[in-house]
Chain A
């Protein structure tokens, strides 16, 4: 079973020297692309704002012109589009970084919070919180619903990650097959729980719950962006702290310990971070799959697997992909909106299958 862990590196590859050269400008390049994507996302949508009107709408130029068009543009931008883009970028960053940390923790490039039930664990807890606070028993807590949702989603994600780790890791080794199968089982259990909630929910709750299962950024507001920001900042700080430990963990738990890593602490921090990042993202956006797999995988091919660079680069590329996908989601069937989870799965699942195909013959799954 342990052979299964040999993965994406068994083929002729570019030398690490070329990789290091591309690594040095990865962050500035990704930042530039993110800025460009954001500008495109600002201009397109149900109410188009051409590039020429953008500076005025953002308040950079022609400050005194109070014509109706500028006023409408400003309203669209500042109360709808900018908070949405900010929240979308942060959700993408959190999901991609959570995926990269989880893959490092499980020493497995196929790990993804959405794929193995961590996201649905969070979604189940969030959906339970909705139904509970709407019920007779929980109505005293209803005024706290906005604050409770991210907390509940975090707790749900934490519980599923911890269970998953407990099941698939034994005496310092994680089995990829047991890990994926346990993920399938946990997803089934959480989906059964969500199904039960769907069964007892009323119409309004049902809409909310469906939203959680398909994923959408349409509910993004400044308040929600404000919930995401501190988690992202803390997450980025913690990434710098755990990067070397995650690198050494690739040797296995015993050898990471021999190399000076406090493995138990590293695992605890990583599990809490994956859960917090996934849980908070899920509580804002619902379950969005494959961002966490595709982004770190692509980056490892270009900048290498060292986590010091991989984790911040994942945040940026995750943000780029999500903002791009969300822009598509709200324009291709305008004035309606496609759930973004459908788009990311349509792109991400083939990439996932591609990784599997390349591994075929090398693994004993």
Chain B
């Protein structure tokens, strides 16, 4: 599989602070990667650099073998889609109007089927005429996910497998919709999309991705298959907590120490 996105020795400084320091990352078509790490590790900075929104202080990002800053915003939007956290919509746009924003230059008629499919996928078909600001935070998040899926689909129809970036996409979702979102992302990866997501929930990250990238203090701390990265030692070093790592069906899951203690006292 060819690399969809490639970051080399990526650094970002803000004033004197080094937000990111010499990070390298290559993600191939069809790959699912979760970025994990403590607060302030540089996860969002890395994602914004990979999206072309921020320019690096050092190093370079290549999207489909081309310098990401050489694309116009429109060209970029046809090759990568990104879901941010906390989007605040001021004006009373309907859910459908928001999702249609992902369509770009196509006529709404042409894009109708894509919009229908995306709304179905996020379970908001019955809310399509509701005004976005009247929905709950999680429902708004799902509407924006539908918009991003439509953008991705429109771009991939013309330019082949693209890049999907998700910044804490599950932060305001309930358990069922977290799983739904992960499944939707997996379907995109199965179709060839390169998917990169920042996730805070370790177990969700493990379920989400075959490959985990761990950032700490602006540096790459680990990058590899979930079974290698998720160990008692890594979690202790990175998150400064004790955790027990179990395996279920060959997939690891993490039980933080304090939670295990609580579970034991409940059982007794």
Q: Given A5-B90, A8-B91: A13 and B73 within 8 A (CB)? A: no
Q: Per-position contact with A for B59-96: 1 when CB-CB < 8 Å, else 0?
A: 00000000000001110111011101011111111101
Contacting pair A10 B89 (CB below 8 A): no
CA distance A16 to B80 in the complex (A): 30
Contacting pair A17 B90 (CB below 8 A): no
CA distance A306 to B91 in the complex (A): 9
Judge if B228 is at the interface, Cβ distance under 8 Å: no
Judge if B131 is at the interface, Cβ distance under 8 Å: yes
Q: Which single member of B81, B84, B91, B129 contacts A305 (CB below 8 Å)?
A: B91
Judge if A257 is at the interface, Cβ distance under 8 Å: yes
Q: Per-position contact with B for A262-275: 1 when CB-CB < 8 Å, else 0?
A: 11000000000000
Contacting pair A258 B51 (CB below 8 A): yes
| Interface pairs (29), CB distance under 8 Å | A5-B88, A9-B134, A10-B134, A13-B92, A13-B134, A15-B130, A16-B94, A16-B97, A16-B129, A17-B129, A108-B90, A109-B91, A250-B90, A250-B93, A251-B87, A251-B89, A252-B87, A255-B87, A259-B102, A259-B104, A260-B74, A260-B151, A261-B73, A262-B73, A262-B74, A300-B92, A304-B92, A304-B94, A305-B93
Judge if A254 is at the interface, Cβ distance under 8 Å: yes
Judge if B138 is at the interface, Cβ distance under 8 Å: no
Pick the 7 closest A-B CB pairs, nearest first.
Answer: A260-B77, A16-B94, A9-B92, A305-B91, A9-B133, A15-B129, A258-B82
Interface residues of B (CB under 8 A from A): 48, 51, 53, 72-74, 76-78, 80-82, 84, 86-94, 96-97, 101-102, 104, 129-134, 144, 147, 151
CA distance A5 to B94 in the complex (A): 17
Contacting pair B77 A259 (CB below 8 A): yes
Measured CB to CB, the closest approach of chain B to A176, in angstroms, equals 9
A-side interface mostly: loop
Q: Which single member of B72, B80, B92 contacts A262 (CB below 8 Å)?
A: B72
Q: Per-position contact with B for A1-41: 1 when CB-CB < 8 Å, else 0?
A: 01101111111110111010000000000000000000000
Judge if A247 is at the interface, Cβ distance under 8 Å: yes
Q: Given A258-B51, A260-B78: A6 and B88 within 8 A (CB)? A: yes
CA distance A7 to B90 in the complex (A): 6
Contacting pair B129 A260 (CB below 8 A): no
CA distance A187 to B131 in the complex (A): 35
CA distance A252 to B83 in the complex (A): 12
A226-260, CB < 8 A from B: 247-248, 250-252, 254-255, 257-260
CA distance A46 to B71 in the complex (A): 62
Query: What are the residues of chain B within 8 A of A247 when measuring CB–CB?
Result: 93, 97, 101
Judge if A81 is at the interface, Cβ distance under 8 Å: no
Residue of B nearest to A17 (CB): B129
Query: What are the residues of chain A within 8 A of B101 when measuring CB–CB?
Result: 247-248, 251, 259
Contacting pair B87 A12 (CB below 8 A): no
Query: What are the residues of chain A within 8 A of B97 when measuring CB–CB?
Result: 16, 247, 304, 306
Judge if A107 is at the interface, Cβ distance under 8 Å: yes
Contacting pair A260 B76 (CB below 8 A): yes
CA distance A247 to B99 in the complex (A): 12
CA distance A7 to B81 in the complex (A): 27
CA distance A9 to B97 in the complex (A): 14
CA distance A255 to B77 in the complex (A): 10
CA distance A146 to B81 in the complex (A): 51
Query: What are the residues of chain A within 8 A of B53 when measuring CB–CB?
Result: 254, 257-258
Contacting pair B90 A258 (CB below 8 A): no
Contacting pair B73 A9 (CB below 8 A): no
Q: Given A10-B133, A258-B53, A259-B151: A306 and B93 within 8 A (CB)? A: yes
Measured CB to CB, the closest approach of chain A to B105, in angstroms, equals 8
Residue of A nearest to B94 (CB): A16
Query: What are the residues of chain A within 8 A of B133 when measuring CB–CB?
Result: 6, 9-10
Q: Which single member of A11, A260, A304 contacts B73 (CB below 8 Å)?
A: A260
Contacting pair A9 B131 (CB below 8 A): yes
CA distance A222 to B167 in the complex (A): 57
Measured CB to CB, the closest approach of chain A to B251, in angstroms, equals 32
Residue of B nearest to A108 (CB): B90
Measured CB to CB, the closest approach of chain A to B109, in angstroms, equals 14
Residue of A nearest to B133 (CB): A9
Residue of A nearest to B48 (CB): A254
Contacting pair B87 A9 (CB below 8 A): no
CA distance A251 to B53 in the complex (A): 14
Query: What are the residues of chain A within 8 A of B87 when measuring CB–CB?
Result: 251-252, 255
Query: What are the residues of chain A within 8 A of B147 when measuring CB–CB?
Result: 259
